[in-house]
Structure 1
Amino acid sequence: MNFCDLNEAGLTALEKRHYERAVTLFRHGINKLNQEREHTPKPPRNRTFFYHAVPLHLGLDENAPFTANTSSQDGHFFLFDTVFLIDYNGIWQSYAFAITTLLYNIALTLHLQGLERTQHFKLDQARQIYAKALRFFTSTGKATLAATREGDRRVLFLALSNNYGHVCALLCDREGTEKAQEFIRELIADPFSDQILDPSDMSFFRATCLLGKLKELAPSPAPSA
């Protein structure tokens, strides 16, 4: 199995709520990705490539035990229940996107597990992995507006930022929520987002920005006597 197969197997396990199994498969996918890259000759810089992080909405049941907890304590983040399949050519050029996709899928799995089972340590693990994915994505220079003008890459970056903000808000990490809001606002403000995002996804992230702005403008509670 290559890393795409392992990622897909992890998504199947996640769909069945076999959380530990899903995380194991995604981690194997990362190991396999690194092995494949190590043994693949580096191509010329100008080689044309494509990378698709194909979004799959999980369609969480409204009666599921964790959905009541999906609005954060800050009130302006809601879980974006979307995972990603991988389709690519050119492992060297696609590496930054592929590793970010696998890390995101791991983090979302831990996120859902923590919500469903009320396990704060799982939520904290998810927060750390979302943060790692964001650091990796941005530090490589691949997370620029130009590099995410392919619709699926833009959705990946928005999903990563949103769910990082959601879990940070649940864990009262103010710095994390503010960082997530900053990413989302920058991406939504880019005119290409209107052209490349599904209208329902665009509405979701616009609402997140609006609610976050209203939260910032709300007066602070008066100090107690």
Structure 2
Amino acid sequence: MTTGKNIAPDVDISADVKLLESMGYAQELKRRMSAFSNFAISFSIICILAGGITSLQLGTSAIGGAAAGIAWPIGVVFALLVALCMAQVASAYPTAGGLYHWSSILGGKGWGWATAWFNLLGLIFVTAAVNVGVYTLFINLILPLFGIDPAKLTLVHQAIGVILITGTHALFNHLGIKVTTMLTDLSGYLIFAVSIILTLCMLIFAKSHDFGRLFSFANVSGDAGGRRVARE
């Protein structure tokens, strides 16, 4: 482990470097990413376009318009509380290693071990789920353009496709932070612009606006069992 003893005392260093030195660390992370690039990484991971499109129908089907007017704002508040707690911990322990290191300092080695493994498993399963989603989107959106029927593809094709997609992750990591920054910046701007455009289109081209529905509860999930019943 590299310690702060390697830092010359006569070098003018910033407050956060001094804090790391007091904890036995030397600052080695090169800060090449701008504030927007750091924001774009999380923004791309969250992807409000994908989340909004897939989650809106679930919420509105379950409780009606209140999903957007009441449930989502409450959820935002709780998410903000978690973010503030994470920001407080990160500012108090600005060390590499993130979650498992903080957990070890605050709760002991057992909590650090559990946090590291749960976080690793979460990353593996989330990455796998996203890659399967990308594969599904690709075969249903792109392949029909070339006359290929997605229904004829098997699990072997899916496995190969997901492996290739996962391989691109390794490639971009190998190419370094510069390429990743360019991709995440593009993704951040794209999500931002499309979200604004879609919101404006829904507001402008809607036949009417009944904002009272944002605070009303209703079960619009359909008939029991998902069956359609003919109505006269």
TM-score bracket for the superposition, by shorter chain length: under 0.3
Taking structure 1 as the reference length, what is the TM-score of the superposition?
Answer: 0.20
Taking structure 2 as the reference length, what is the TM-score of the superposition?
Answer: 0.20
Specify which structure has the higher proportion of helix: 2
Q: Whose relative contact order is higher, 1 or 2, with alpha carbons under 8 Å and at least 6 apart?
A: 2
Larger radius of gyration: 2
Specify which structure has the higher proportion of strand: 1
